Amino acid sequence: MRPVDPARAPAPVWDIATPARPCRIPGIGMAGFHALAPVDLDVVPYPAVTLALDLGDPPFAVDDAAGHRTRGSVVVGLAPGRVRGHGSAITCLQLRLAPPVAHRILGASSELGGAVVGLDTLWGREAARTEERLRAAASWDERFAIAEAALVRRYPDGRPVDPEVAFAWKQLTIHRGTVRIERIAAEVGWSRKRLWSRFQAQTGLGPKHAARLVRFDDAAHRLAAGHSAARVAADTGFTDQSHLHRDIRTFTGTTPTALAAAPWLTVDPTAWPGTRPAADRP
């Protein structure tokens, strides 16, 4: 387990553990969370499919944008609208899966869009067996190893996304959502319509919506790092500050000022070290 730098640690609602090495499957990140106080907060959308394995008692609960509540281990798809997580004694192993990897490992496509579903819906009995092993583990290092082994077992049998879709997702992330979809379609030799259809079928989002999510994430982390909304809008490809405000309102229902102070963002530098470019770190 990688030690946490106290100088970069977030507010003490969470005790956070991270693996000492990257996952053997590229495109997957892991972090362990234990709540030091009751939790009730909005989840900030992130350009990855989130898998939260519940190890606490009582189980935590996740409310989706429609008000439907799911208890226990969940899969939160891309851009799910306003999602709120809460519980009195949360311990969970959280995984972030890039959509091409999630499609293969979770055996899902449309569910990777705006849905919040129980892990057992996708994995059946294997979800309960994996939870049992994780709960019985003596350390976070052992839990990380168990989770990685479960993913590695599923990976070879999963159906991969089209190489063109994987390339499109990589381009969106490299360019932080500012690349034109027509340019990507031309590079892979597909029509814009075909790329749109295949991308949405295999990731759960259309490429334009996915690009907005990636750009929003870039902006959200810059705001959390202390940059002004005007500077963030200029640096991340928004037309103006009003455009930034509208996208933040769409994804979170809040304002740039409120998003900058979102508790969920404060844990990112500790839980997911190295995921932000050095120039963006405070």
- Cα torsion through 215, 8, 54, 25, rounded to 10: 60
Q: Are residues 37 and 62 in the same domain?
A: yes
251-273 tens-digit pLDDT: 999 999 999 998 888 888 899 98
Residue 239 scores a pLDDT above 70? yes
Categorize the per-residue pLDDT at 277 as very low, low, confident or very high, splitting at 50, 70 and 90. very low
Q: Are residues 254 and 149 in the same domain?
A: no
Q: Are residues 137 and 114 in the same domain?
A: yes
Categorize the per-residue pLDDT at 80 as very low, low, confident or very high, splitting at 50, 70 and 90. confident
Least confident interval from 51-55, 106-110, 127-131: 106-110
Q: Are residues 144 and 37 in the same domain?
A: yes
Least confident interval from 112-121, 165-174, 204-213, 234-243: 112-121
Q: Which two tokens stand for residue 61?
A: 């609960």
pLDDT of residue 240: 94
Categorize the per-residue pLDDT at 209 as very low, low, confident or very high, splitting at 50, 70 and 90. very high
**Predicted model pTM:** 0.89
pLDDT of residue 280: 46
pLDDT of residue 275: 60
Domain boundary among 131, 157, 183: 157
Q: Select the more confidently predicted residue: 9 or 228.
A: 228
Query: How high does pLDDT run on average in the chain?
Result: 89
Domain with 250, as residue range(s), is 163-280
Domain boundary among 108, 129, 157: 157
Q: Are residues 151 and 19 in the same domain?
A: yes
Q: Classify residue 223 by its DSSP letter.
A: H
Distance CA 223, CA 270 (A): 17
Distance CA 233, CA 236 (A): 6
Q: Are residues 129 and 233 in the same domain?
A: no
pLDDT of residue 266: 84
Give the 3-state secondary structure of 99-168.
HHHHHHHHCCCHHHCCCEEEHHHHHCHHHHHHHHHHHHCCCHHHHHHHHHHHHHHHHHHCCCCCHHHHHH
Residue 95 scores a pLDDT above 90? yes
pLDDT of residue 65: 84
Please report, rounded to a whole number, the percentage of residues in the chain having pLDDT higher than 70. Answer: 91
